[in-house]
Amino acid sequence: MDMLEYEVNHLRIKTNGIWIHAAELGVQGSPLVILLHGFPEMWFSWRYQMRFLADRGYHVVAPDMRGYGDSDSPPSAESYTIFHLVGDIVGLIDHFGQQQALIIGQDWGAVVAWFLSLFRPDKVKGLVALSTPYLPRSPIKTTETFKQLGEGFYISQFQRAGRAERAFARYDYLTVMKKLLLINKTDLLIAPEGVEIVDYLETPSFLPPWISEEDLQVYADKFQESGFTGPLNYYRAMDLNWELVGPWQGAKILVPVKFIVGDKDIGFDTAGTRDYIHGDIFRSIVPDLQVVVLDGHHFINQEKAEEVSHEILSFLQKLSPD
């Protein structure tokens, strides 16, 4: 980590009306790769892929997404629609003077990457999405679809402003990060009735080999500075997103895509992800698609860093064989 910290160039970029912090490795003018993290993370989640890709001639940029880390965090959930999030990344691409970028996204970063590819395919040379597949628009509002899962479903608990923040505040930040980043449950995250999801999640007694106490402390220190409201606002804007993306009902994502997921990801079997990603519907709306299933959990880019890095590289090299 010390060596990576020494080499990384930290930038503060004005885009879409806010300031975004981004970490950068590689030479400007080389093919631009933008790495988009998910919840509850920051640019640091891509530390392995940044070094790997920069060493192979790519200009790699990993922002702290809106609301995270050292980027601006508007207070209102209405400032976290998919249009705001995609606009941030369009501005980032423009900042570096590039017409297109190779986009890599995981979890919420994958959601943003999918919609960037839908709204502005001219900006996307290719997409690698991790953990979160693109889903057709539901006929009813997003949170309405979750009601059948009960009040304990984590996304439902995240909806009310302040609720999750108060629950998280009962623990120190390092414990919260351990609970959230080291989830090894494969079922959907649903707490028993009357129990907050952060209380339901276990604090592991030992760490897996892919992350250290020092790595977790990096996250804890940054969230102690920036808080959780910005990240939780992504969930609180989900119904507004549903309303706004109506014009793209049935639209296809036509850029080249590789989708990577762990076979022990949350809900991979119990929520039907396995069947969906291998089925006809997914391929019909993402026709230029490769699917890769790895042995791993949700934060697959860290847990299986080398495998994921090579999967990304092979995809990028096929897009630009020269």
Both tokens of residue 202? 């276990």
Nearest CA to 30 out of 53, 8, 12 is that of 53
Task: Classify residue 220 as exposed, middle or buried by CB count within 10 Å of its CB (0-12, 13-18, 19+).
Answer: middle
Q: CA 270, CA 187: separation in Å to the nearest integer?
A: 6
Q: CA 299, CA 252: separation in Å to the nearest integer?
A: 27
Q: CA 47, CA 308: separation in Å to the nearest integer?
A: 12
Q: CA 62, CA 21: separation in Å to the nearest integer?
A: 9
235 counts as catalytic:
yes
Pick the catalytic residue from 70, 72, 88, 107.
107
Q: CA 110, CA 65: separation in Å to the nearest integer?
A: 12
154 counts as catalytic:
no
Nearest CA to 97 out of 41, 185, 152, 30 is that of 30
Q: CA 121, CA 218: separation in Å to the nearest integer?
A: 34
Q: What are phi and psi of 249, to 5 degrees?
A: -50, 120
Both tokens of residue 142? 């997003």
Longest Cα–Cα distance in the chain = 57
224 with 176: CB under 8 angstroms? no
Pick the catalytic residue from 80, 235, 265, 297.
235
Q: CA 219, CA 35: separation in Å to the nearest integer?
A: 17
What single-letter amino acid sits at 319?
L
Q: Report cis status (omega within 30 of 0) of the bond before 40.
A: yes
- Strand 101-106 with 32-36, pairing: parallel
List active site positions: 107, 235, 298
